[in-house]
Chain A
Amino acid sequence: MYRYDEFDHDYVRARVSEFRDQTQRRIDGALTEDEYKPLRLQNGLYLQLHAYMLRVAVPYGTLNSRQMRTLAMIAERWDEGYGHFTTRQNIQYNWTKLTDVGDILDALADVEMHAIQTSGNCIRNVTADHFAGAAADEIEDPRPTAELIRQWSTAHPEFGFLPRKFKVAVTGSPNDRAVTKAHDIGLRMLRDDAGEPGYEVIVGGGLGRTPMIGKVMRDFLPKDDLLPYLEAILRVYNLHGRRDNKYKARIKILVHETGIEEMRAQVEAEFERQMREEGGPLVAPDPEQVARITAYFAPPKFEALPDRSETLETATANDAALKAWVENNTAEHRAPGHAIVTVAIKGTSEAPGDATTAQMRALADLGERYSHDELRISHEQNVILPHVRKDDLPAIFSALRKAKLASANAGLITDIIACPGLDYCALATARSIPVAQDLSRRFAAPERARAIGNFTIKISGCINACGHHHVGHVGILGLEKSGIENYQITLGGDHTETMAVGERAGPGISAEEVGPAIERLVDAYLDARTDESERFIDTYRRLGADPFKQALYAA
């Protein structure tokens, strides 16, 4: 994984000093709250309902054991003993104090981490496939691209005060695990007919009040042209994005209102202008720097192993729970005899994505010992051990059980994605975590969850859709009606390369009604499916929404 050079180190340290200074000027009154707020946000610090919340960046979701241990230490020392993994591969601490944030940022800088640009109207954490560098279906590792974009976008002098936030995602696999079509810019790595590497550039995707699927702005962009092209998109957005209405300020609205053809013309014209600049575009990356970055993502030396592991076969023959976990929570690795492990951070009594200090330390140990010292955070709020030997799976499972992280439910109905909602967030209109917990309890029986199969429930506590409810097979949106929390259900969303925005099923229902409604929905699916291999989303596409709407409202 990437290692800071002296420029990165110096900058992150200088940034911490700068934040301490800005905070002091806020306390002293040299800065008003209006002036300080954008600065605080650009250092990842929100003010929520009950406390400040610090959002720490985990660039493209990748971290090592040392970094995970620091995240655990921060939770223990400066927070309440837990952290929350987010749908953008970051981690949030809910109980930080303003006066401690400088120390927290210094502790992060010690391990090459930061909270830069995890909030504010700037370019946010660049996310990527959480199976990057490991998946058998990968064309190319997206992370060198993500790292290059991270470097270019960090403290970019021109793009720090955009009309609104800006999110970029990269996938290197045709199976899009990075939700690229719901990002402001999504990049899909591919090769042209001559075998040259490049990107399909998708622009204007987004969830929230007006969910939109991104449109292709360029079928094929040669790799070397990436940064000037991104610069062109951002410049057009910065100049012309709406600033009159917060809910119409994302680039998706600009694309929608301008039209993709005209937008493309403007971006291509701006791109051409840069390419014609004397000396080449200012942001064209130095080939040495690109090579250096790429080298850091060279795959680890995988042990040469047969694909079949006798150790594992023997163990699973004798342990049904292990067998279920291996079948459900491991994915195919490009190196024979290896696997990708998904650790579901989804207990029935915890909020989705919340991990305690002890759990984070257990994960760090596992990453170090079994996964070439590498871990990932997924947009599904789970932790990935990307490079494990199949022989080690029994030992890993055993350790996960001790840490209460062994749920065999990755991608199943209890692998719920939920934003923090009104229990924490000042923007929320309703709570999301209790709904997630209720559903987790109802479907907790492992055999039942397995029988239901792949079923994504995503819950947002407000229209901002941080829980990605629009692209869940079942989406739940928490609103308010007559002073009481009220939940709207959407059906048929899809967060993969076959992206779809869920369709509203009908009027909102109360919190108590959600559980029974989902139970009826699931029963209707189990009755209607052709067989076990037809997932809910497939049955939904075959039959349409009506039978499921009826089931939801049947009581």
Chain B
Amino acid sequence: MARDFKPKIVSANDLHIGDVVYMNSGGGWTRKLSEAAIAHSAEEGDTLMARAAPQQAKVVGPYLADVALDDDGRPFPTHFREKFRTRGPSTRPDLGKQSANPERREPLASSGGI
């Protein structure tokens, strides 16, 4: 039933660098969870995944992850595994997205459509 549907985002890993990316509203990819496109129904989830499927040249292993929405309507992960994916290893605060320098890697090309 629609009202039981937990909102979802598409999460994947960048093909070249391997870090976590999210599908944005343009059907492209962003490293920022706040920019992730949100599916509010199963059909919307299917649509997002269908947009991800032909993008093997950019990402690996896209999947739908549950989120909840904060007061500003921005998504945050509900499961601890997804929380870790937004941060990095809990025992190394100097590594991963949580670090002072998460963009040590080349920034993704600006988000755009397929």
Contacts and interface: CB of A to CB of B under 8 A. Distances in A.
A33 B89 contact: no
A347 B6 CA distance: 42
Contacts of B96: 50
Interface size class of A (residues with CB under 8 A): 20 to 34
Given A49-B84, A423-B84, A99 B16 contact: yes
Given A422-B81, A423-B84, A27 B15 contact: yes
B61 A50 contact: no
Contact of B90 (A29, A48, A52, A431): A431
Contacts of B15: 26-27, 98
Nearest to A34: B56
Given A423-B90, A437-B91, A29 B57 contact: yes
Nearest to A428: B81
Nearest to A431: B90
Given A49-B84, A434-B90, A434-B91, A97 B56 contact: no
Nearest to A49: B85
Contacts of B56: 29, 32-33
Contact of B80 (A32, A50, A96, A484): A484
Contacts of A422: 80-81, 84
A351 interface: yes
B17 interface: yes
B114 interface: no
Nearest to B90: A423
B68 interface: no
B80 A483 contact: yes
B79 interface: yes
Contacts of A33: 56, 60-61
Contacts of B16: 27, 97-99
Contacts of A485: 80
A405 B18 CA distance: 32
B84 A95 contact: no
A505 interface: no
A80 interface: yes
Nearest to A51: B18
A453 B74 CA distance: 53
A47 interface: yes
B49 to A, nearest CB: 14
A351 B15 CA distance: 27
Nearest to B88: A50
Interface in A71-92: 80
A508 B88 CA distance: 26
Interface string A27-62: 101001100000000000001111110000000000
A397 interface: no
Given A29-B56, A33-B61, A423 B13 contact: no
Given A50-B88, A431-B90, A27 B95 contact: no
A267 to B, nearest CB: 38
Contacts of B13: 47
Interface in B8-63: 13, 15-20, 56-57, 60-61
A47 B60 contact: yes
A483 B78 CA distance: 9
B105 interface: yes
Contacts, number: 68
Nearest to A40: B60
A548 B20 CA distance: 43
Nearest to A423: B89
A155 B77 CA distance: 42
A396 to B, nearest CB: 29
B89 A424 contact: yes
B19 A51 contact: yes
Contacts of A95: 95
Interface in A354-385: none
Nearest to A429: B81
Contacts of A27: 15-16, 57
A80 B95 contact: yes
Interface string A400-427: 0000000000000000000000111000
A351 to B, nearest CB: 6
A49 B82 CA distance: 9
A47 B18 contact: yes
Contact of B18 (A98, A431, A433): A98
A424 B85 CA distance: 9
A423 B91 contact: yes
Contacts of B80: 422, 480, 483-485
B61 A47 contact: yes
A99 B56 CA distance: 15
A437 B92 CA distance: 12
A351 B90 CA distance: 11
A96 B105 CA distance: 11
A406 B39 CA distance: 53
Interface string B70-109: 0000000011110011001111100111000000010000
Interface string A452-486: 00000000000000000000000000001001110
A544 B66 CA distance: 45
Contacts of A48: 18
Contacts of B60: 33, 47
A434 B80 CA distance: 15
- A-B residue pairs, 7 tightest by C-beta: A423-B89, A52-B18, A51-B18, A433-B91, A50-B96, A97-B17, A99-B16
Given A47-B60, A50-B96, 19 more contacts: A27-B16, A29-B56, A33-B56, A33-B60, A47-B13, A47-B61, A50-B95, A50-B97, A51-B17, A98-B16, A98-B18, A422-B81, A422-B84, A423-B84, A423-B90, A434-B90, A483-B78, A483-B80, A484-B80
14 contacts: A27-B15, A29-B56, A48-B18, A50-B88, A50-B89, A97-B18, A98-B15, A422-B80, A423-B92, A424-B89, A431-B90, A434-B90, A480-B80, A483-B80
